[in-house]
Amino acid sequence: AGSRQQHRDREPDPGSRIQEQGSGSARPQPPEPSLLRFLVCPLSKKPLRYEEATNELINEELGIAYPIIDGIPNMVPEAARMTHKKPPAEDSEQP
For the entire predicted model, the pTM comes to 0.60
What tens digit of pLDDT does each residue of 7-60 get? 455 555 554 444 444 444 566 787 788 888 899 999 999 999 999 999 999 999
Residues 6+ apart with CB under 8 A from 63: 82, 83, 84, 86
Whole-number pLDDT of residue 22? 45
Give the residue, 27 or 93, on which the prediction is more confident: 27
- For domain 33-82, the CATH class is mainly beta
- Give domain limits for the chain: 33-82
Mean pLDDT confidence for 3-10: 52
